[in-house]
Structure 1
Amino acid sequence: PKRGSTNPRYPTVEVEIKDLARYGAIYREMVEREASNSLAQFSRRLKRWDVTTVYPLVLRLWECDEIGADNKACALDTLLSLIVRRAVCRLTTKNYNKYFLNVVDHLDKGGWSLERLNGYLLKQTADSSRFPTNDEFSRSLTQSRMYQTLGSARTNAFLVEVERRQRGKLQETKGLPERLSVEHVLPDSWEEHWPLANGVEPTRDDFILAHYQIKEDDSTVGLIVRRERLIHTVGNLTLVTPSFNSKLSNKGFTTKRAEFSEQSILMLNKDIAKEEEWDEHKIEVRSARIAEIAKEVWPFPETPESGGF
């Protein structure tokens, strides 16, 4: 029976078996991820984000005859945008199981449509369910430590999608190299080859003080605090192929830039290789640029007021 109902959902066992077979075929398509349709594409993109609690909603959405193919694709994009934006903004996933079932209930009661799905998602205001706005998404991308927040695998997935968007239609058919890994342009271990903006060589005490300070200013400690934050933001992260010489990871930018030139098969590395220097300002500029691309990859849903419907 449906949640909250004591009435049988199916009139006969035969009808139930047919329904299970239909949903089973959809589920198989989702987990195999081999088809070229929007469902398989969504599942491939979702895999790294590890949010299987959305599956019941996706199964009902894909099975629904009330929504056309184009709107189903848009709905799947919206769900992925919700998941990725919330992850980047460090919002909890603990309520997802209940939340996505509530979406199903809402659409079952009032009718399934892209407009009703978007409307319900955008009405949520609790931190456990709300849809991050463009401003919040951009702010998290430019200020938060993505690599530490998302981890290597999901950061990789994020950058792969940004790379695909930058390639555009002309290059996307070439495919991406396999086994890409995340690289920090300004390395985590920067002390030897990456001087601070004030030219002062930090002492051990400076690093200890910076560990307990959050204020960013022009003092040596303040510059360390700023650098340690920006190192893990998206503007300082890129993807490299297995041919990248990992022994050079902690070297100065002149040395690393030559290696990034060899990695120019990736759009993410083309602009880095053109830079004469790499510092905190360059990181912030690149973070802002990637944030604009990310808002296109994982867009905020259109509303009737915006002219989308």
Structure 2
Amino acid sequence: MMQAHETKIQPIIEGTKQYLVPMFQRTYSWTLNEWKQLWQDIMDIEQFDESKGHFIGSIVSMPLPSAPHEVQRYLLIDGQQRLTTLVIILTAIRDLAKENSETRVADEIHETLLVNKYEDGDSHFKLLPTQTDREGYKNLMFNIDDGSNSLILKAYKYFKGEINKMNIELRHLKTIISNRLSVVSIVLASDDNPYLVFESLNAKGRPLTQSDLIRNFFFMRINQEQHEFIYSQYWQPMQDGLGEVLTEFIRHFLMKGGKVVRKNDVYVILRESAETEDTLNYIKELYTYSTFYRKLINPHYEVDAALRAKLTRLNRIEATTSYPLLLKLYNLYNQGTIDISDLKEVLDILENYLIRRFVCDIPTNELNKIFLSICQKIEGYKGIEVVKEVKSVLQNKGYPKDEEFKYNLIHTRLYGSGDRSRKTKLILETIEESYNHKEKVNYKNLSVEHIMPQTLNESWKQELGTAYEEIHEQHLHTLGNLTLTAYNAEMSNENYFKKQIQLNNSHLELNKYFVNIDKWDEKSIKERANMLATNCVSIWSYFGSEEYEIKDVKGTTPRLLFFFNRWHEVNSWRDVWTTTINKIIESDASNFEILLEKYPNLISLNETAFKRFYKLDNNAYINIDLSARDVYKLCLRVLDMLEVDRKQWSIEITS
């Protein structure tokens, strides 16, 4: 039965006992604000009323089984930040007492409040923090300054400095800490679930992050004996590798299945996802994916140079919406389902798709759903099939064709604030790289330069002619007026003749263009824009094909399906889908096994596999939760896969 009573710090920690901070707890995270508040509480006792205690919160613990003559261990469920800080203060008092030759005070603190004098190893310490904090904490107990930047050492130095400012007897300060500060000690019964208690507590201190709760959830499902191994082998490397983006990684991990997960729902969705899974296998899988994610956010960790370069480029155009898909692709690559050339090709496709959409000013709000739909559609695919499916999906999801792409390259205002300037710089760099330099160009030293400057002086107004305002408005930020240079400050809004001299000294192919251009006006800008746009159409060449182009069947109603030389009456696109699959299986029974293997997200022997389903003639089940466009596209895909001539399949649509 749980017991709760008010007590002081000394009775909690004196005696042969140890408080063990469990793996599901966060590391020590109190900083200056919390230190100041606790120190003020201590000073209030000293300055105003020594006879009364001061309540500082609660400490929740649970006794762990121990053999006779062993240290009595307690799992510290809540209050670890508070108790750790008080132990740090006592350590600072101990060390100052040593420095002041107050040996008896120092020994008394050390041997009764900090360590178990006659125990060895980890049992020697009355408080044992999590793995991450443990080494630094032990060094502190042994009065070793390891030069680290840990919060534990910072706290120690802060409190030692504050004590030094005071004119107070160290024994008296020790008494205030150990016998004047009041806490509510809550000791759980052995059959209480410490992890659920921790999760539900609403104590003073920093609020739990979703990754804290997720860590708690996992470790509550793992035997205590396995905690240290699993934490050090999987959770800590994942936590150290991703830091503050750990929760965002878990969100993207959950989304790789094709479903949107909102930022505030990560913990809830993970619990639902992992509830019926083997916990250790789930953590291992999460850890494996975290190594992929680390490469996505920091391509430096990718060993393949070409792959590293492609990931870096994607990050420059802020492709975070594609991360769930990239996680899935990395895993397929890791498993050998696709090879590195397939992965690289998909990265090129994604860059191509995003660059063309950026240039054509297509809104980005649908990208999340588009990439998640691919996560679902490539399920069960292998090798080049994955690449083809990515292409076929994206070409029908707002992917500009050459004519639209080139027109916008010439006329769209590419340069602008925020990510627009970064993406524009990448476009210019890529054009420069397309000239295949023998010498490597250091693009970090270059910035985007407007040939016709952002502020027109009299010289430029004369250069542009009477329509200078209109020309400036229409062409300032377009591709034809932009280049790269390291002399941005020198050029500023100088006239074209002076800029031309600087550009002629440039080693960039982009700037050799200006050698024979004597005048910079609207005609010159348009001519250069056309030339550069032609290059871009070649660099980011159209990856779509007529074979996979979906006709716009949205909003239409089919009336007849012609298939295998027969007409079949249909009333909906669902009828088209189910009739097509039924007839394919009827024509050759072996087709069913192929469909079952290739499309597990569409066909199943299990009735509960799909939210909306139809029972086929062979008693299998088919997913009918599809749009008209999905049906049209999937029917063509199935025909191609089974090598059925498309000419044998056609639809008559009502007018």
Partner of 1:164: 433
Between structure 1 and structure 2, the one with the greater Rg is 2
Indicate yes or no: 2:525 matched with 1:280: no
Distance of 2:369 and 2:430 partners within structure 1: 28
Identity of counterpart residues, as a percentage? Answer: 28
Q: Note closer, same or farther for the CA distance 1:193–1:161 as it changes in structure 2 (3 Å cut).
A: same
The answer to whether the 8 A contact 2:432-2:508 is kept is yes
What are the within-5 Å matches in structure 2 for residues 1-309 of structure 1? 2=257, 11-34=277-300, 35-64=303-332, 65-108=336-379, 113-124=386-397, 130-148=398-416, 151-166=420-435, 168=436, 170-171=437-438, 173-195=439-461, 199-200=465-466, 220=467, 224-241=469-486, 244=487, 246-262=489-505, 264-303=506-545, 305=547
- Give the CA deviation at 1:257: 0.5
Question: Amino acid of the residue matched to residue 73 of structure 1?
Answer: K
What are the ranges of 5 or more consecutive residues in structure 2 without an aligned counterpart?
1-253, 260-268, 549-655
Partner of 2:173: none
The answer to whether the 8 A contact 1:245-1:259 is kept is no
Distance of 1:236 and 1:118 partners within structure 2: 33
- Give the CA deviation at 1:140: 0.7
Distance of 1:9 and 1:298 partners within structure 2: 45
Distance of 1:198 and 1:77 partners within structure 2: 39
Of structures 1 and 2, the one scoring higher in RCO (CA 8 A, sep 6+) is 1
What are the ranges of 5 or more consecutive residues in structure 1 without an aligned counterpart?
125-129, 201-219
- Give the CA deviation at 1:18: 2.5
Distance of 2:273 and 2:413 partners within structure 1: 50
The answer to whether the 8 A contact 2:258-2:375 is kept is no
- Give the CA deviation at 1:197: 7.2
Q: Note closer, same or farther for the CA distance 1:248–1:32 as it changes in structure 2 (3 Å cut).
A: closer
SS in 1 for 2:541: coil
Residues 192-214 of structure 1: CA deviation (Å, up to 9, x unaligned): 112457854xxxxxxxxxxxxxx
Q: Note closer, same or farther for the CA distance 1:28–1:295 as it changes in structure 2 (3 Å cut).
A: same
The answer to whether the 8 A contact 1:257-1:273 is kept is yes
Distance of 2:313 and 2:464 partners within structure 1: 43
- Give the CA deviation at 1:156: 1.5
Distance of 1:198 and 1:142 partners within structure 2: 19
Distance of 2:443 and 2:273 partners within structure 1: 53
Work out the number of aligned pairs and report it. Answer: 275
SS in 2 for 1:239: strand
SS in 2 for 1:148: coil
Q: State TM-score, norm by structure 1.
A: 0.79
**Structure 1 or 2: more helix by fraction:** 1
Question: Amino acid of the residue matched to residue 452 of structure 2?
Answer: L
- Give the CA deviation at 1:78: 0.5
- Give the CA deviation at 1:9: 9.4
- Give the CA deviation at 1:7: 7.8
RMSD over equivalenced CA pairs, Å: 2.8
Distance of 1:22 and 1:240 partners within structure 2: 42
Residues 188-247 of structure 1: CA deviation (Å, up to 9, x unaligned): 2234112457854xxxxxxxxxxxxxxxxxxx4xx5323421121101100111xx1624
**Structure 1 or 2: more strand by fraction:** 2
